[in-house]
Amino acid sequence: MRVAMIGSGYVGLVSGACFADFGHDVVCVDKDPGKIERLKAGVMPIFEPGLDQLVASNVKAGRLSFTTDLAEGIKGAEAVFIAVGTPSRRGDGHADLSYVYAAAREIAAGLSGYVVVVTKSTVPVGTGDEVERVMAEANSAAEFSVVSNPEFLREGAAIGDFKRPDRIVVGLEDERARAVMAELYRPLFLNQSPLMFVGRRTAELIKYAANAFLATKITFINEIADLCEVAGANVQDVARGIGLDNRIGSKFLHAGPGYGGSCFPKDTLALVKTAQDLGAPMRIVETVAAVNDQRKRAMAKKVIAAAGGSVRGKAVAVLGLTFKPNTDDMRDSPAIDIIQALQDAGATVRAYDPEGHEQAALVLKDVAYAADPYAALEGADVAVLVTEWDAFRALDMDRVKAALKTPVLVDLRNVYDPAEMARRGISYSSVGR
């Protein structure tokens, strides 16, 4: 099949490359000429393990190409995906759908013959209806169906998630579109991946409900961690004890500094706003978002307490900047709030992240970036582990202790064993233990 992917960011590029790897003929379209030229040269706009090789192999095979010309990109396409950004709108927290609607208008203007227009972007319930209206208004002669096909890709594991998904959700309103989508995803039938055909509004809501539920699990275990600390319990044991219950499950029960990234913060907020507008407020999700926002800066207080009650004039080494490992994504990373709070308290910050320095420099000021973790630790009064990169899981603790001015480590991801740290003479603080 011929497929056009409008938007060559995280979702569009990964999805386009994976579809091409299935054997489809894919054109990725983006308005940014610099990005397209870099993609043609094999330079990825994001860090995602394995993506550069996947893109290169499919470009070489002639199945994947890049262009800034939307009209040319959609020519002859049987499915056109909208995979543009839907950031939180300034002022009210609603999802900004201007890029989605702009893409819909351009697609409609360039259509000749029937095509399935697939919304891959994360959009509030009812957006597909508006996309349909916008396209019909832009080109009353256009023949098309609008489908919702939300993505469930985890940054750092996106290729595996796309090729071996838990489920594929397709929201549609007509059988003609169903046949196209079934053929598009036919290669995944070999893996017995559940292909769910539902109503379009249901598909849109599934995406938001999934992210809100996962964000709730994270926030729940973080509050349990706080209780564990004052009650003298171990949150890791609590998490294991409840996670072994099949009704609950063990995933997303890892206490830490709060969630961040491109999805959970904006999607929980958008769901809250949509629910309020429709007169069905979601009090649990409202609380989850509020608690998570507060938690990030609260982690800075934990660092300050470990440093003796003040970090004024002290140097803090921060290990990990991105919101999670195996990505360079800094969007709503807990590290941002933690570092800014420490700087507000008078600390100087030196940091190391395997992939995040370039993106971090765009949002953080007055941070010195080190070449490796030990350089970041050198001469620091306290160290804080914020992101659980593999590079931080087996640090040489003798080197860590020798590098630090005072042997104080705050582990916000519970990577290390408290008893082992005590044996080594390191003042160690973690979350919920």
List the structure tokens of 260: 């961040």
Contact 384, 301 (CB under 8 A): no
Neighbouring C-beta atoms of residue 110, cutoff 10 Å: 21
Contact 328, 295 (CB under 8 A): no
For 244-271, the three-class secondary structure string (H helix, E strand, C coil) is: CCCCCCCCCCCCCCCCCCCCHHHHHHHH
Neighbouring C-beta atoms of residue 133, cutoff 10 Å: 13
Q: What share of the chain is helix, strand, coil (3-state, %, to 5)?
A: 45, 15, 40
Contact 27, 73 (CB under 8 A): yes
- Beta-carbon contacts of 215 under 8 Å, excluding residues fewer than 6 positions away, are 259, 264, 267, 268, 285, 288, 289, 292
Angle between the N-to-C axes of helices 283-306 and 200-231, in degrees from 0 to 180, rounded to the nearest 10 = 40
Closest by CA position to 350, among listed 334, 338, 367? 367
Name the helix (H) or strand (E) containing 104: helix 98-109
Contact 268, 287 (CB under 8 A): no
Neighbouring C-beta atoms of residue 242, cutoff 10 Å: 16
The CA distance from 49 to 394, in Å, is: 21
Contact 19, 52 (CB under 8 A): no
Coil vs helix vs strand at 385? strand
Out of 18, 28, 228, 263, which one is annotated catalytic? 263
For residue 263, indicate whether it is catalytic. yes
List the structure tokens of 73: 């990109």
The CA distance from 363 to 127, in Å, is: 31
User: Residues with catalytic annotation?
Assistant: 263
